[in-house]
């Protein structure tokens, strides 16, 4: 095929990348295990979303991941305090630290909880020249009080896309959660538990595959083209 692209007159060929297998070769070496940040969406003392998050964390640690779980207690509502608040800073630092994330929320009124949304809203799309969520892998899970639903995981997928994250295909939705956990908060053996293992296994695999490739995979023609136009305009302004 002729790569001079004569049939695409509106494209700036100087900024167009032609993908290849060689360009997907991982860059750099890693002397640490995959880093996974986990968020859950409830402040209740007996929180099934927290129980499910800790269950998933145990699975990830078994695979070899380094896991950190953010406690949303005392995280102020977004916009109510400055960005240097200790809980906000903690959450943002964990996002920068992470290579993958797990979001788990109960379903409330057919949607994610305010606790879950508040955490996501505190994560900026841009922090200086850095995008704290871009390129991270993401797994989504939900807890249902009644019959099984997928409202929450669908919403979390939408938010993950908006945050420029790579959301894995698999997901977990646990119905009638009060039946699935024992008094100690451990998940009972079931097909739902097996699905959680599936999801964490897939997240771990995808995080390994993405390592050293995210800069290339998230490099966009439109943004390269915009940077080139701004550079030209700055040169013209200096003349």
pLDDT for the residue 91: 97
pLDDT tens-digit readout, 66-92? 999 999 999 999 999 999 999 999 999
Evaluate whether residue 7 is within a structural domain.
no
Work out the percent of the chain whose per-residue pLDDT is above 70. Answer: 96
Q: How many domains does the chain have?
A: 1
138 within 8 A of 101, measured Cβ to Cβ: yes
pLDDT for the residue 236: 87
Evaluate whether residue 16 is within a structural domain.
no
Nearest one of 144, 195, 161 to 152, comparing CA atoms: 144
Evaluate whether residue 3 is within a structural domain.
no
Other Cβ atoms within 10 Å of 221 Cβ, number: 12
List the alpha helices (DSSP H) in the chain: 48-63, 86-97, 114-122, 151-162, 191-210, 214-217, 221-238
Evaluate whether residue 167 is within a structural domain.
yes
The domain containing residue 168 runs over which residues? 31-238
Q: What is the largest CA-CA distance in the chain?
A: 73
Evaluate whether residue 183 is within a structural domain.
yes
pLDDT for the residue 57: 98
- 27 Cβ contact list (under 8 Å, min separation 6): 212, 213, 215, 216
Evaluate whether residue 99 is within a structural domain.
yes
Work out the percent of the chain whose per-residue pLDDT is above 90. Answer: 71
Evaluate whether residue 80 is within a structural domain.
yes
26 within 8 A of 211, measured Cβ to Cβ: yes
Evaluate whether residue 10 is within a structural domain.
no
Q: Give the mean model confidence (pLDDT) for residues 20-28.
A: 85
- Report yes or no on whether pTM surpasses 0.85: yes
Residue with tokens 């550079």: 231
pLDDT tens-digit readout, 113-129? 999 999 999 999 888 77
Residue 171: give its domain's CATH number: 3.40.50.360
Whole-number Cα distances in Å, 56 to 106, 134, 192, 196 = 15, 23, 12, 7
Angle between helices 86-97 and 114-122 (to 10 degrees): 70
Whole-number Cα distances in Å, 173 to 122, 186, 225 = 25, 16, 41
Residue 4: pLDDT band by 50, 70, 90 thresholds?
A: low
Residue with tokens 């505190």: 122
pLDDT tens-digit readout, 125-159? 888 777 889 999 999 999 999 999 999 999 999 99
């Amino acid at each position: 095929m002729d790569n001079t692209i004569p049939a695409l007159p509106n494209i700036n060929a100087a900024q167009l990348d032609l993908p290849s297998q060689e360009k997907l070769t991982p860059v750099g070496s890693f002397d640490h295990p995959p880093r996974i940040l986990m968020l859950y969406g409830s402040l209740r003392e007996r929180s099934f979303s927290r129980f499910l998050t800790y269950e998933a964390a145990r699975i990830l640690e078994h695979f070899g991941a380094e896991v950190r779980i953010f406690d949303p207690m005392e995280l102020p509502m977004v916009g109510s305090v400055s960005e240097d608040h200790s809980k906000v800073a903690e959450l943002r630092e964990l996002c920068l630290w992470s290579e993958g994330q797990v979001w788990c929320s109960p379903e409330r009124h057919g949607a994610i909880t305010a606790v879950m949304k508040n955490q996501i809203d505190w994560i900026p799309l841009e922090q200086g020249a850095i995008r704290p969520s871009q390129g991270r892998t993401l797994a989504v899970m939900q807890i249902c009080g009644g019959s099984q639903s997928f409202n929450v995981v669908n919403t979390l997928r939408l938010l993950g896309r908006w945050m420029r994250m790579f959301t894995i295909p698999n997901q977990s939705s646990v119905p009638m959660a009060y039946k699935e956990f024992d008094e100690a908060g451990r998940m009972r053996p079931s097909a739902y538990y097996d699905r959680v293992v599936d999801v964490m296994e897939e997240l771990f695999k995808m995080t390994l595959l993405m390592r050293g490739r995210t800069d290339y995979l998230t490099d966009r023609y439109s943004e390269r083209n915009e940077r080139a136009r701004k550079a030209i305009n700055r040169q013209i302004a200096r003349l």
